[in-house]
Amino acid sequence: MRAEINQLLDRIREGDGKAFEELLNLKAGNLMQIALSLLKRDKMLAEDAVSQTNNALYKKVISKPFISGEELATADDLNRWLKTVITNNCYNIARANKRLIFVEKKKLEIMMGAGYSTDTSETIFINDVLDELDETERKALWYHTQKYSNEKIAALFGTSLHKTRTLVKKAKKKFREKYGDY
């Protein structure tokens, strides 16, 4: 696949418009998979992130540094760049939609080692803060961020509405003390 991507990059530099379309089709599945995993399987938001990434790639390939071969010279360069851009787009979309992204710390360390941006360090910090909450508090906070009503959360937990309100309030307070207002 690397050789194919390298050939497409060369064809794009030579002005072959179809090569850009082929490159988008080739990378679409990987980008969508990353976006879906980061945006909690929200297909509409994931499609937005992929679209923004494709637009950024288009702007990149018409730039002088790309055309001269100074930027995105190889398939590996392209893959690193795409992973960084799609990740940043997902985090920006999540922030704009006031969603917390819950990702396992181990996955984030792997992602960062694979060239993801430093924005993931904020997510690691969020996960460290969440680790300090007990499981019930984490779940209550997660449901709250997903816009579940206290009544729905109470039904899911099998507790009274009063107890659920107290639980959500306590979880939010603990989270704010460690991380700040979200």
Instruction: Give alpha helix (H) positions in the chain.
Output: 2-13, 17-38, 43-61, 64-67, 75-96, 105-113, 120-131, 135-145, 150-157, 161-178
Distance from C-alpha of 48 to C-alpha of 35, rounded to nearest angstrom: 9
Confidence band, pLDDT 50/70/90 cuts, at residue 166? very high
Distance from C-alpha of 36 to C-alpha of 94, rounded to nearest angstrom: 12
**99 vs 176, more confident:** 176
- Give the amino acid at 146: Q
Question: Considering the entire predicted model, what is its pTM?
Answer: 0.56
Residue 118, phi then psi, degrees to nearest 5? -70, -10
Confidence check: pLDDT of 172 > 80? yes
Residues 6+ away with beta carbon under 8 Å from 92: none
Which residue in 141, 136, 103 sits closest to 122, CA to CA? Answer: 103
Confidence check: pLDDT of 111 > 70? no
CA-derived radius of gyration, the chain:
20
Cβ atoms < 10 Å from Cβ of 26? 13
Q: How far is CA 87 from CA 42, 46, 101, 150, in A?
A: 15, 11, 11, 32
Say what the pLDDT of residue 182 is: 45
CB 116 within 8 A of CB 84: yes
Buried/exposed 40-66: b ≥16 CB within 10 Å, e otherwise: bebeebbebbbebbbebbeebbeeeeb
Lowest average pLDDT, out of 54-63, 128-137, 168-177, goes to 128-137
